[in-house]
Amino acid sequence: MKLKEIIKIIPFFILTGFLLFSFTESATKSPYKCMIQMKNYSGEGAYIVISLLNPEGKYEETLYVQGDDDEWYFDITEWWAFQGKKRADIDAITGATISGGERKISVIQIPDNKIDKGYKIRFESAVEDQDYHKDDVEFELTSTNVKSKIEGKGFIRYIRMMPQ
Amino acid sequence: MTISIWRYSHLTLAISSAIFILIAAITGIILAFEPISNQIKPYNYIDLETVSIAETITVLQNEYDEIVSLSIDENSFVKASVITKDGKSASFYINPKTGEKIGELIPKKTIFEFATNLHRSLFLKSTGRFLVGFFSFFLFLIAITGVILIAKRQGGFSKVFTKIIKEEVNQYYHIVFGRWFLIPIIIITLTGVCLSLEKFSLLPKDYSKHKTLNTKTTTQKLKTTDFEIFKNIKLNQVEKIEFPFSTDEEDFFFVKLVNKEIAVHQFTGQIISEKKQTLVNLLSNYSLFLHTGRGSIFWSLVLLLSCFAILFFIISGFSMTLKRRKKTDTLNNIIMKDEAEFIILIGSETGSTFKYANAIYKALIEQKKKVFIDELDNYTSYKKATNLLIFTATYGDGDAPANANLFLKKLKEHQPINNINFSVVGFGSTNYPEFCKFAILVQANLQIHENFTPILPLFKVNNQSFVDFEKWFTQLKNLYKFDIYIDESQIFNSKEKTIIKVIEKSDLNIDDTFLLKLKLKKNIKFNSGDLISITPKNEKTPRLYSIAKVDKHILLSIKKHKFGVCSTFLQQLSKENNFEATIQENKNFHFPKKAKEVILIANGTGIGPFLGMIAKNKKTKISLFWGGRTKESLKIYKPHIDKALKKGSLNSFETAFSRESDSKIYVQNVLKKYNHFISEFLKNGNTILICGSLAMQKDVELVLQEISEELLETSLEEFKQKNQIKTDCY
């Protein structure tokens, strides 16, 4: 092959490479500040799992876990059916439990390409010896929702999201 | 009657909750180390009083993109939650002066995690929490009934903290530690109950709301670090600061201070609203602190020791109960109650009276007498009974012991069928002001009863003294013309006869006295003042000699009587000979521990046990008074005395000789000369030990009585009650 031809091909390679890269880039994530404000319940600290659900309503990814004692994870029944099998590494996205009346702010990473595509964000909550709320907070992942405040149905009073 | 309720409750509560309390105490011991191990971490070297909120915020804002919250824990560690410049949330300990990260958050150790779960819920979730709270309350009740029992025992609530008389080790320390740990245990149990109630939402709810304050509306925007309020408040006042979530005006700074909560406008720095700390809040905070000891090494250590004390109470409590049970179980009747002529009834607190009663029972059974033995509370009518022997202890300040509460009542209910001869033996300690009071009460009640006739006056046995008991027994024997003897091996713990080897024997001295040095083949503990019981061949009745312990060997000082079977037998022994004997503890005549000064008075061979006490003495100032016939009588003891005087273990030695000159001088005559010394000595609470003949004891006590009356204006009886006069005379 002549050198000239090779030089001609280079842009093609660059383009392909770029395209390939940008497809993997499809997992580009942006940080969002997320605040969970708990109701004034009494009892132990709550375990809360924030997950991303696909348009079929199936678990896609675990975004954050409040509660670091995995002994109690099976209390969060629905999610545990997913995580228990998959055992994704969640060490980096795990924090302490939140007690009644407290608020907690954490930064969660949401894939950009899942916004406005029918995906959902779900907040499950469970308190030792008390209830388990499968969808304490659940909302459509839209560009407006990620800047808003959403009321909870269980232990969570409300959550607020804000792009970082 | 009232005591039995308290005792019964104390025991029942303890038995029903023992397992739970055991688990709680053991896990409690582990958990006490958690606050200690946290506290010793070096994250609190800055004095928080010197740092204002504004200062810390300034330094943090330089380092991080955003601050989420700032909190100060019970160890004065400052924790910051921030969003880092690369958009991640992070929490760690900081130096509040510099904003530097100084350490990762302390993760709860697995062992503490495990212990905490077991401690508060037994891994049984709600059920477990309920049980733990419930038994925590039980432990509180146990502590309360315990105090009541101590009060009863010591003779009133005002005397709960007075000197405890040591009878049995378990019992003694059960009371000693009970008093020390009463307050911590009450605190632990009540806070434990409080924490449980809180978890079950049973404490009154905290309905207080933030009160909005009227503030002047200023529009002047300030930098956070310029807020007056943040500049003024120092970190030691702060528990937590939550920063506003967004730049929305509705989002405030929430500042939780030690005594209130305030909301601060995020732009103007004005206080928007505030909420005062409520009583319920305060209660639950204090409960948590007092129960866990968090933040205080001192209190954690108190909690730790309390847990150990609780373990000790469980163990010693059960061992006492078992012991009592075991002794009660030893009553094995072979004759029905309505067949028996002799009825033996026992009133016992710790079970020790049973030994004596059982010994008499066996002796009578061997004599083919029809005997029935039982506890006082089981008193009923006995068809053929003509003799009643009662052995009873006294509880505390003159109450009935555990198994004799009902006796006096039942005595009225059951009319005896025959006329009954009775004798009462009271067991107790002269250390108690109400020595044998219950026995006196029993004696009095029987005496006024028309069907009962006393055959002997009330006998009192001090500190389980076998010598006292034998006096009663001898009188009983003579009265009934029985040819019986008591096997004292049943009464004393060192049941087994031991083989004893002669290692030295002195020649017979002028007045037929000699010293015998013996070696025990087995390793048995004994002290000077204990007794050796030797039964000569073809004899049933043993003879008792006071022991001196010299260089781990037994030293006996014996007088050979012309027709004395035992002393002749001992005199005929030669070196390397073996014979059998039992050793009996005789606590009544032990050398007082930790005494500064002691007076020893003896005549003749009575000096025996004193030779051992003197040989062992290191710190006590001992004055020995001894009476003998002639100077020559002293010959066999002289080497011991001289050695002790030279070594300083004996301070002074005064002698009296009755056959040395025309004027007979006895040991009591010498004592008279020292009347001022002796009166001062007694006044200071020191102890006199007397050993020798009964005649000498009588004369010596007369002199001591005179000294007490003339110089101290009191009677010798007072010193005897205080156990300052100990005797072993024969």
* pLDDT higher than 70, residue B175: yes
pLDDT at A16: 61
Contact yes or no for B201 and A42 at CB 8 A? yes
Helix (H, G, I), strand (E, B) or coil at B542: coil
pLDDT band at B492 (very low <50, low <70, confident <90, very high): low
Residue B382 near residue B337 (C-beta atoms within 8 A): yes
Collect all residues of chain B within an 8 Å Cβ-Cβ radius of residue A103.
Answer: 242, 245
| Residues B586 and B721 occupy one common structural domain | yes
pLDDT at A4: 67
- Residue B708 corresponds to which tokens in the numbers above? 């007490």
Residue B309 near residue B268 (C-beta atoms within 8 A): no
Higher pLDDT, A17 or B651: B651
pLDDT at B206: 67
CB-nearest to A107 from B89, B198, B242 is: B89
* pLDDT higher than 90, residue B312: yes
Q: What is the SS3 string spanning B385-425?
A: CCEEEEEECCECCCECCCCCCCHHHHHHHCCCCCCEEEEEE
| Residues B434 and B572 occupy one common structural domain | no
Higher pLDDT, B464 or A161: A161
pLDDT tens for each residue of B431-462: 777 889 999 999 999 999 999 999 999 999 88
CB-nearest to B89 from A42, A69, A106 is: A106
**Average pLDDT over every residue of A59-83:** 87
Tell me, rounded to whole angstroms, the distance of Cα B370 from its chain centroid.
41
* pLDDT higher than 90, residue B687: yes
| Residues B692 and B548 occupy one common structural domain | yes
pLDDT at B488: 63
CB-nearest to A43 from B88, B91, B199 is: B199
Domain boundaries, chain A: 29-163
**Average pLDDT over every residue of A137-145:** 93
Minimal CA separation from B89 to chain A, in Å: 6
pLDDT tens for each residue of B66-82: 899 999 988 889 999 99
pLDDT tens for each residue of B98-114: 988 998 888 888 899 89
**Average pLDDT over every residue of A143-157:** 92
pLDDT at B1: 42
Pure H helices in B122-168? 125-154
| Residues B394 and B424 occupy one common structural domain | yes
Q: Does B129 touch chain A (CB under 8 A)?
A: yes
* Angle of CA points B342, B347, B348, to nearest 5°: 130
Residue B101 lies in a domain: no
Determine which of A37, A39, A42 to mutate to test the interface with B (most B C-beta atoms within 10 Å). Answer: A42
Provide the greatest CA pair distance for chain B: 120
pLDDT at B583: 85
* pLDDT higher than 60, residue B494: no
Residue B419 lies in a domain: yes
| A-chain residue closest to B105, CA distance | A96
| Residues B167 and B305 occupy one common structural domain | yes
Higher pLDDT, B427 or B216: B427
Contact yes or no for A162 and B89 at CB 8 A? no
pLDDT tens for each residue of B245-265: 888 888 889 999 988 889 999
pLDDT band at B10 (very low <50, low <70, confident <90, very high): very high
Strands A120-127 and A46-53: antiparallel
Contact yes or no for A129 and B81 at CB 8 A? no
| Residues B155 and B55 occupy one common structural domain | no
Separation between Cα atoms, residue B668 and residue B701, nearest integer Å: 9
Query: Model-level pTM greater than 0.80?
Result: no
* pLDDT higher than 90, residue B328: no
CB-nearest to A160 from B87, B199, B245 is: B245
Separation between Cα atoms, residue B303 and residue B300, nearest integer Å: 5
| Residues B228 and B154 occupy one common structural domain | no
**Average pLDDT over every residue of B492-503:** 74
| Residues B28 and B51 occupy one common structural domain | no
pLDDT tens for each residue of B609-666: 999 999 999 899 999 999 999 999 999 999 999 999 999 999 999 999 998 888 889 9
Residue B594 lies in a domain: yes
Contact yes or no for A164 and B125 at CB 8 A? no
Listed residue (B244, B245, B246, B278) closest to B264, CA to CA: B244
**Average pLDDT over every residue of B240-245:** 92
* pLDDT higher than 50, residue A25: no
pLDDT tens for each residue of B329-350: 667 888 899 999 999 999 987 7
| Residues B610 and B653 occupy one common structural domain | yes
User: Whats the size of chain A, residue-wise?
Assistant: 164
Strand order in the sheet with A59-66: A94-95, A59-66, A46-53, A120-127, A132-140
Contact map slice: B 235-254 vs A, CB within 8 A:
242, 245-246
Contact yes or no for A129 and B69 at CB 8 A? no
Q: Does A163 touch chain B (CB under 8 A)?
A: no
Q: Indicate the Cα dihedral angle A150, A153, A157, A162, nearest 10°.
A: -20
Can you tell me the ipTM of this complex? 0.77
| Residues B547 and B579 occupy one common structural domain | yes
Contact yes or no for B242 and A103 at CB 8 A? yes
* pLDDT higher than 80, residue B714: yes
- The mean pLDDT of chain B is 88
- Four-residue CA torsion sign, B236, B238, B239, B242: negative
| B-chain residue closest to A45, CA distance | B199
What's B348's domain CATH number? 3.40.50.360
Fold of A29-163: Immunoglobulin-like (2.60.40)
Domain boundaries, position B80: 45-96+222-275
pLDDT tens for each residue of B48-68: 889 999 999 999 998 888 899
* pLDDT higher than 80, residue B324: no
**Average pLDDT over every residue of B149-153:** 84
Q: Indicate the Cα dihedral angle B25, B27, B29, B31, nearest 10°.
A: -140
Compute the count of residue pairs across chains A and B with CB atoms less than 8 Å apart.
Answer: 37
**Average pLDDT over every residue of B528-554:** 84
Q: Which of B456, B471, B489 is the last residue of a domain?
A: B489
- Residue B707 corresponds to which tokens in the numbers above? 């000294």
- Residue A63 corresponds to which tokens in the numbers above? 């975004």
**Average pLDDT over every residue of B278-288:** 86
| Residues B643 and B609 occupy one common structural domain | yes
Contact yes or no for A105 and B198 at CB 8 A? no
Residue B105 lies in a domain: no
**Average pLDDT over every residue of B697-713:** 92
Number of structural domains (chain B) is: 4
pLDDT tens for each residue of B180-192: 999 999 999 999 9
pLDDT at A95: 84
| Residues B177 and B247 occupy one common structural domain | no
Residue B625 near residue B602 (C-beta atoms within 8 A): yes
Q: Does B110 touch chain A (CB under 8 A)?
A: no
